[in-house]
Amino acid sequence: MSSETVRAPGSSTSVLDQVEGGWRSLVAEFVGTMLLVLLAVGTAIFAGKFVGDIGIALAFGFTLLALVYMIGPVSGCHVNPAVTLGMVLARRMTPIAGALYWVAQFAGGIIGALLLHWIASSVRDPLGGGPFLRKSFGSPGWGKDSDLFISASGAFLVEILLTAVLVLVVLGTTHGKGDKPVAGIAIGASLTAIHLIGIPLTGTSVNPARALGPALFADNNALSQTWLFIVAPLCGAIVAVAIHWLVHGEPESAHSEPGRPDPGRPEPGRPEPVGGPAV
């Protein structure tokens, strides 16, 4: 539903009216986050020992790249509460719409992890090693749950910095007169690079929904560490918005068309995505 919709005085409204695209955008975020966990985290769980860190990083990058073009025109393809927070702070969507996106994203992450758990229950791990040995179920971690035994404070800093990079790329490639059709390539490539450096350090979260879902099914202490991988990415989003504001100027209107410097009506018959890569 367009933000320009005019209602008759006294007509009833619902919280879905705060979301461009209504329930379809929420379904898109749910499905997108579920697929990100299923495919990318699934690669770390089942194929990590075969493809290595590079393969896992590519799985995250390619999955996000595909999702950008699949659901980007519907919801903006946030599939990440940190990205959604960045969009809210950048005034590209309302706080209520952002909260609804969060519900859809966390639900999608949990269902994606549930599907992985169901698959894992029918798989043996005779080779040993990899996530099955640590019983992390693809969850990020610090200390003994980090390949490099990074400290909690170090993990917090790493997650802030890496999430800030991701959110900066999303905000920058969808701002002003940028080349929107190729925004997905830049976003997917940045997530790949982020995982290449982040996997040995924390396992890489940069996405609270991606962190919470798998942690619910881990056999180690992943769930007790999940708070860090929820809070730090959200802090990273705040840092990214501040830098984006310094570079690009004042935040955009919550009802402006994503990717345009000035508010305007969308083309007739064309849905207006809520922030993120409009491709």
Angle made by CA atoms 168, 187, 95, in degrees to the nearest 5: 55
Quote the pTM value: 0.84
156 domain residue, yes or no: yes
237 domain residue, yes or no: yes
- Cβ neighbours around 13 below 10 Å, total: 8
Contact yes or no for 166/191 (Cβ under 8 A): yes
258 domain residue, yes or no: no
**How many separate domains does the chain show?**
1
80 domain residue, yes or no: yes
Contact yes or no for 201/150 (Cβ under 8 A): yes
pLDDT in tens, 102-116: 999 999 999 999 999
Q: Kindly state the DSSP code that residue 241 receives in the 8-state scheme.
A: H
272 domain residue, yes or no: no
- Cβ neighbours around 178 below 10 Å, total: 14
Q: How far is CA 192 from the centre of its chain?
A: 13
Nearest 10 degrees: Cα torsion 192, 194, 195, 200? 150
Contact yes or no for 278/95 (Cβ under 8 A): no
Domain housing 202: 19-248
197 domain residue, yes or no: yes
Q: Return the closest-CA partner of residue 45 out of 142, 135, 168.
A: 135
Q: What is the pLDDT of residue 1?
A: 34
pLDDT in tens, 199-250: 999 999 999 999 999 999 998 889 999 999 999 999 999 999 999 999 887 6
